[in-house]
Chain A
Amino acid sequence: MSTLEIKGLVASVAGKQILNGIDLVVRSGEVHAVMGPNGAGKSTLSAVIMGKPGYEVHAGEVLLDGVDLLALPAWQRAQAGLHLVMQYPTEVPGVGLNDMLTEAFKARGRNTDTLAQEVAAEAERINFPVALLDRSLNVDLSGGEKKRNETLQLALLAPKFAILDELDSGLDIDALRDCARRVEDATNENQLGVLAITHYNRLLEELHPDHVHILVKGRIVASGGPELADQLEADGYEAFTGGEPEGAVQAARPSSLDELFAL
C-alpha cells in the first residue's frame, strides 16, 4: 500500500499565485477526481506535482510514501512511482515510442528483452494501431491516438500513482472508454492510485471515482463521493464558486450555439 500526500500546496506560475493551499491524500487502488472550472488551477496542480519547469512552489509538501517529491527533479519523481498523462502530449520528432520506453526501462534498471512484445500486447489491449508504433512520439497522431499512446505508456511503466490531466480532452468516446478502462484495470490489477483532473463529468462516467474534489481558485472547496460529481452536473460550478460566473471569458460566451444564431 502506497500513499501520495499533498499538503498545503501553494504555487505560482509567471509570478501569479494559482494554488492556494491544496490538501489531498490518494492511496493505492483509489481513484480521486479533481474537478474544476477553467482557471481553477487544474493543470497547474498536475504540473507542480510532476515537477514541470516554470512553476514555483511557495509552501506545502508532496510526499510519495514519505519521500519528498518536491525535492526531486521530474525524472526522479517518475522513477519514484509517479506518472503524468498529459493533456496535450508533446510531439518529439525523430524519437519513437520504443526508443523512449527502452531508455525509460533502462533508467529503472528494468529488462528490455521483451519490451517489443509487451508494447505490442499493450497496443492491442488499448486499440492503438500497431502501424503507428514506429511513428515519432505524438507526431501526426489524432487526439484519440495520442491519449491511447499515453495510456499505453502508463500501463507499461506501471507507476504507483498516475495523474491524468484532462484525459478526456480532445478524444472521441471510443478512445475515452478504452483509456478509462485500461486505467481502471490498472487500479484493480496493479493497485494504481489515480488523480484524475477534469473539467467535465464525461470521464467519470467511464472511470468511476471513489472520491470527488471540487477545485475552485486554487483550493479544494468540496470533497465527497461520486454523488458530488452528480450534484456538479446538476448545479454547475456556480454552486461552488459562491455564485460567481466561471470566469469572464466563459461568461461572455453564449451558453449554446442555438443562442448564438438566435441573436
Chain B
Amino acid sequence: MPAFLSDAIDVDAPDQALRLAAAERAAAMAVPSPESEVWRYSRIAELDLATYTPAAVRTTVTGADQVPAADAALVAQLVAGMAVHDVFDELNAAYHRTVAICVPAGKVLAEPIVVTHHIDGGSAGSGAPAFYPRLVIHAGADSEFTVVERFESADDTRALVVPRLVVHASQAARVSYLGINLLGTKVWQLGHQQATGERDSTTLLATVALGGDYARVRTDARVVGQGATTKQVALYYADGDQMHDFRTLQDHIADKTYSDLLFKGAVQGTAKSVYTGLIRIREDARGSVAYQTNRNLTLSEGAWAESVPNLDIKTNDVKCSHASTVGPIDEEQRFYLESRGIPPQVAERLVVLGFFDDVLSLLPVSLQGHGDLRADLRARVATKLQAAMA
C-alpha cells in the first residue's frame, strides 16, 4: 500500500481507481525544489510533507439552491483536463473532496454561490492535517454567475491546504470567481487554479489573500475561443512573517482574445511577497490584447516584495503591456494629506486603502447585496495596518 494512502481516501468514491493511481504516483515524487524556476523565491524548502496527515475538509455551500446536481460525466471530463505539474496536484487527485458547480446554459444567478472551507486543526497526537479541496465550476453557454470560495481557520490552527480549482466558461458565459484567504498564520496554502474560456466568454478570477503563513496560488488562465476574455485581480497583504506567492499565466490560444490582470499587494513587518506573471500569445492568437500590472507597497524596512513580469509573444498584430512597481508609500501623497492636518498614521491608512481601492472595486461582489463583503475586506486591511502601527 502506498505510503500516502489513508482513511482520507474515499474508497467508495466512483473515481477510486484514479485516486489510488494518483496516490501511488505521488508517493514516488519528491517535493519540488526551490532550485526549479517554477518554485523560485518560494518557501517550499521549508515544507515537510511527512508532518501532515490527509484529512477530510469541512466545507459548506450556500446560494446553490437553483443549481441542479452536477453531471458526473461532465465533471470527470473537466477533471481529466486538469494539468498535473507536481506532487501537490497528484495528492489533490488522490485525496480531493470535490464541490462541483455546473450552471446550465442560459442561467443567470443574481446571488453568488459561496463555498466555505473551514480549516480545522488536527486532534492531539495525529500531527497536522492536510486538506485537499477541489472546486469544479462549469458555466454553461450564456450563463452568468459568481462563485466565492472562502478559506478560513482559527489563528492557532496548524494545517496544510492544497486547493485545486477548475473553471470552464462555455460560449458567451460570464463567470466570476473570488477566492478569499482568511487563514491563520500557521496554515500553509499551495493553490493551483486553471481556467478555460471558450468563444466570447468572460472569466474573472479574483483573489484576496490576507492570511496564511506561506500562501501560494498559481493561476493558469487560458483563452481558447475567439473573442474570449479573462480578467485577473488580486489584493494581497502580508504582515509579520507571512509570505504571499503568486504565479499567473495569461495564455492566449485563439485570435482576438483579451486578457487583463491587476495584482496589488502590500508587505509589512518582515513579510514577503512574490509576483511572477507571464503573458503568452501563441501563434494563432492574432489581434489579441493583453495587459498585466503588478504594484507593491513595502510598508516597512524589513519587508520584501518581488515582481517578475514576463512576455512571450509568438505572433504579430497584438497589443500587450506590462507594468510593475515595488516601493514604499509615496512621500508626496503622504505630505499632501499631512499638509491638510491629517496625522501620519491616518494619512498612511488613507494612502494604503486608496492604493487597494481599485482592486476592491473590481472584485465580483455586487454593491447591492454584498457591499458588506467589500466593506468587510476593507476593514480587515485597515485592521492589519493598525496592528502594524500600534
Interface residues of A (CB under 8 A from B): 50-53, 73-75, 78-79, 83-84, 86, 89-95, 99-101, 103-104, 107-108, 136-137, 153, 157
Chain B interface (Cβ < 8 Å from any Cβ of A):
330-333, 335-344, 346-347, 350-351, 353-358
**What residues of chain B lie closer than 8 Å to A91, measured between beta carbons?**
333
Q: Who on chain B is nearest to A52 by CB?
A: B335
Q: A50, A51, A94, A100 — which one has the most chain B CB atoms within 10 A of its CB? A: A94
Contact A104 B342 (CB under 8 A): yes
Task: Report whether A157 and B354 are in contact in the complex, using a CB–CB cutoff of 8 Å.
Answer: no
Knowing A53-B331, A90-B332, A95-B350, say if A100 contacts B358 (CB, 8 Å): no
Q: In the complex where A75-B344, A90-B333, A92-B333 touch, is A99 in contact with B350 (Cβ < 8 A)?
A: yes
Question: Which residues in A have their C-beta under 8 angstroms from that of B339?
Answer: 50-52, 74-75, 78, 83-84, 86
A79 touches B354 (CB 8 A): no
Beta-carbon contact of A75 and B343 below 8 Å? yes
Q: Which residues of A contact B331 (CB under 8 A)?
A: 53
Tell me how many residue pairs across A and B have CB atoms closer than 8 Å: 85
Are A90 and B344 CB-contacts (below 8 A) given A95-B350, A95-B354, A136-B354? no
* B353, closest chain A residue (CB): A94
Shortest distance between the CB of A86 and any CB in chain B (Å): 7
Q: How far is the CB of B348 from chain A (nearest CB, A)?
A: 11
The reply to whether A78 and B341 contact each other, CB–CB distance below 8 Å, is yes
Q: Is the CB of A157 within 8 A of B341?
A: yes
In the complex, 27 of the A-B residue pairs with CB atoms within 8 angstroms, ordered by the A residue number, are A52-B335, A74-B335, A74-B339, A75-B338, A75-B340, A75-B343, A75-B347, A79-B341, A86-B339, A90-B330, A92-B333, A92-B350, A92-B351, A93-B354, A93-B355, A94-B353, A94-B355, A95-B337, A95-B354, A95-B357, A100-B342, A101-B340, A103-B342, A104-B341, A107-B346, A137-B336, A153-B340
Contact of B341 among A86, A89, A108 (CB under 8 A): A108
- Selected contact of A93 from candidates B341, B342, B357, CB within 8 Å: B357
**Closest chain A CB from B325 CB (angstroms):** 12
Contact indicator B341/A107 (Cβ below 8 Å)? yes
- Which residue of B is nearest A92, CB measured? B333
A94 and B358 within 8 A (CB) = yes
